[in-house]
């Protein structure tokens, strides 16, 4: 079963604009990870944010986490055509013996040159 829900399902923006994607989840987590996927093949890890963190940055990426609302957001600033891909959030549930990531269905981002 899939825990996360990304919103929106699809997003189309002009190059240079910012893109914001949201993720909601249902259970308590140890950490939340964002991935990018091109053409339905391998996933590229973007950022991991732990449950005791509220915000992380990596280059043009900014991730926030609100555990009280069970939600996270991914902001891509100054988007480029090469950012066109599907973006997934994945949660690692808290609790002993749980190491599987649970993914949402993803947000399909199109950046128009």
Partner 1 sequence: GAGVSQTPSNKVTEKGKYVELRCDPISGHTALYWYRQSLGQGPEFLIYFQGTGAADDSGLPNDRFFAVRPEGSVSTLKIQRTERGDSAVYLCASSWTGFDEQFFGPGTRLTVL
Q: What residues line the site for partner 1 (CB under 8 A)?
A: 2, 4, 30-31, 33, 35, 40-45, 48, 88, 90, 92, 97-106
Closer residue to partner 1 (CB): 40 or 113: 40
Closest distance between partner 1 and the C-beta of residue 17, in Å? 25
Q: Which is nearer to partner 1, 75 or 101 (CB)?
A: 101
DSSP-derived pairing of the beta strands 107-112 and 85-93? antiparallel
Asked, as a colleague might, if the bond just before 8 is cis with ω within 30 of 0, I would say: yes
> Could you tell me whether strands 43-50 and 29-37 are parallel, antiparallel, or unpaired per DSSP bridges?
antiparallel
Nearer to partner 1, 30 or 64 (CB): 30
SS3 41: coil
Q: How far is the CB of 89 from partner 1 (least distance, A)?
A: 9
Q: How far is the CB of 57 from partner 1 (least distance, A)?
A: 16
Nearer to partner 1, 14 or 99 (CB): 99
- Of 47, 34, 17, 43, the residue nearest 110 (C-alpha): 17
Report, in Å, the least distance between residue 16 CB and partner 1: 28
Residues whose CB is less than 8 angstroms from the CB of residue 43 and which lie 6 or more positions away in sequence, other chains included = 35, 36, 37, 88
């Amino acid at each position: 079963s899939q825990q996360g829900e990304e919103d929106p399902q699809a997003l189309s923006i002009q190059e240079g604009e910012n893109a914001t994607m949201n993720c909601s989840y249902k259970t308590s987590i140890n950490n939340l990870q964002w991935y990018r996927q091109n053409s339905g093949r391998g996933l590229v890890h973007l950022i991991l944010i732990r449950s005791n963190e509220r915000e992380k940055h990596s280059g043009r990426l900014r991730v926030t986490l609100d555990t009280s609302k069970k939600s996270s957001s991914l902001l891509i600033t100054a988007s480029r055509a090469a950012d066109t891909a599907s973006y997934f959030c994945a949660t690692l549930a808290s609790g002993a013996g749980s190491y599987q990531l649970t993914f949402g269905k993803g947000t399909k981002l199109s950046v128009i040159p």
